[in-house]
């Protein structure tokens, strides 16, 4: 199997795992969350920590595969900018307003975004290192 084929399957698996795990673990976090409905939790994953760890580890592995195999020199800048946007959105807790529509939507959106970031971050680190090494070779 060619490396591009592996990367393509890794992308598909990443999307499916991020969405399904986000829905399942988001619902689990919602079901076990017991504070007031006017208080969106900052660390929603605390109630599902063990399962969250397994999913984050799977996303890490998939991100490493993508970082090593998939991104070409032309795609580096766009990928890194997109990753920065994801990291900023994740750190800013952009889904807090969804809590007031329905808390379950908040847990789902936060979980899915968390898993997408967990996939993109290791890929971005590897791609950044590869990019710096390529620039160093050019000089």
Model confidence pLDDT, tens digit, residues 65-122: 888 887 777 788 888 898 899 888 888 877 778 888 888 888 898 889 888 888 889 9
pTM, to two decimals = 0.78
**Using one digit for the tens of pLDDT, what is the confidence trace for 4-16?**
677 778 778 888 8
Asked if residue 138 belongs to a domain, the reply is no
Asked if residue 29 belongs to a domain, the reply is yes
CA distance 33 to 80: 35
Give the number of domains in the chain: 1
Asked if residue 139 belongs to a domain, the reply is no
Tell me the HSE value of 55 on the side-chain side, using a 13 A CA sphere: 27
Asked if residue 106 belongs to a domain, the reply is yes
Q: Can you give the pLDDT at residue 34?
A: 60
**Using one digit for the tens of pLDDT, what is the confidence trace for 9-66?**
877 888 888 899 889 888 887 877 765 555 666 665 666 667 778 888 888 888 888 8
What the block records as the tokens of 79 is 């990928």
Q: What angle do CA 40, 18, 119 make, to 5 degrees?
A: 100
């Amino acid at each position: 199997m060619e490396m591009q084929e592996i990367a393509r399957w890794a992308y598909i698996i990443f999307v499916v795992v991020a969405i399904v795990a986000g829905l399942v673990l988001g619902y689990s976090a919602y079901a076990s969350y017991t504070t007031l409905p006017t208080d969106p939790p900052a660390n929603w994953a605390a109630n599902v920590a063990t399962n969250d760890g397994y999913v984050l580890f799977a996303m890490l592995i998939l991100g490493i595969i993508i970082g090593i195999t998939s991104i070409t020199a032309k795609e580096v800048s766009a990928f890194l900018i997109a990753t920065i946007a994801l990291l900023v959105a994740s750190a800013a807790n952009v889904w807090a307003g969804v809590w007031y529509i329905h808390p379950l939507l908040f847990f789902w959106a936060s979980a899915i975004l968390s898993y997408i970031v967990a996939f993109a971050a290791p890929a971005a680190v590897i791609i950044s290192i590869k990019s710096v090494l390529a620039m160093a070779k050019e000089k």
